[in-house]
A and B are shown apart, each in its own frame.
Chain A
Amino acid sequence: GENVEQHPSTLSVQEGDSAVIKCTYSDSASNYFPWYKQELGKRPQLIIDIRSNVGEKKDQRIAVTLNKTAKHFSLHITETQPEDSAVYFCAASHQAAGNKLTFGGGTRVLVKP
């Protein structure tokens, strides 16, 4: 089955700096890669996703890149703000598996004011 590795497990950045989180996956059939943000005690919320026919996607301060050959994808947050502090999860899925999500272990991001 699919295996998703996520690094780093914790990330501390100064407000205004950029944050980068990297994930690798094992199943070359995976073709959908969402990123979720989870605040303490809350549900995971989708912040951005990318499909395998696209190499990069951007939404305001958030961008995701995908390298299918190397089987890795990354989340980039620019101009970080204190409200970006949360745990971020990458995930992978593919249609043949019914779109069940395999999650990475999470990255706890702390943005220091």
Chain B
Amino acid sequence: NAGVMQNPRHLVRRRGQEARLRCSPMKGHSHVYWYRQLPEEGLKFMVYLQKENIIDESGMPKERFSAEFPKEGPSILRIQQVVRGDSAAYFCASSPSGTKNTEAFFGQGTRLTVV
């Protein structure tokens, strides 16, 4: 089991460009969570998805940010027209269930730098 895979590990974008972050959950996991960690801060919940469904996006900024988890392929976090304040580490976690208390397994993260 390869664990939660995120790519790219590092991403540099100029202001105004788009950033696409990918997350492949652990095998057998159908629940994906995205978290953002600003430098020297804790992790903040962004969005919770199951296959083809957004379950909870209460932590997502209202503009420029979107997420999907298609039937086939990885979950994608998309940031349009990036600004310097989007620079952060973005972590994806997966779990086998959203209805039982189970451990969430984190990926290695994507470190986004906006220049």
- In the bound complex, residues from chain A placing their C-beta under 8 Å from that of B43 are 44, 89, 101, 103
Can you spell out 9 A-B residue pairs with CB atoms less than 8 angstroms apart? Answer: A36-B106, A43-B106, A89-B42, A89-B43, A99-B101, A100-B33, A100-B45, A102-B45, A103-B44
> B93-106 CB contact bits vs A (8 Å, 1 = yes)?
10101111111111
- Chain A residues in contact with chain B, CB under 8 A? 1, 6, 31-32, 34, 36, 42-46, 49, 51, 89, 93-95, 97-106
* Chain B interface residue number, banded: 20 to 34
How long is the Cα–Cα vector from A89 to B105 in the complex, in angstroms?
Answer: 14
Instruction: In the A-B complex, list the 5 residue pairs whose CB atoms are closest, starting with the nearest.
Output: A32-B101, A98-B98, A43-B106, A103-B42, A103-B43
Inter-chain contacts of A32 with B (CB < 8 A) = 101
- Decide if A43 touches B108 in the complex (CB within 8 Å): yes
**CB proximity to A under 8 Å, residues B51-104:** 55-56, 58, 91, 93, 95, 97-104
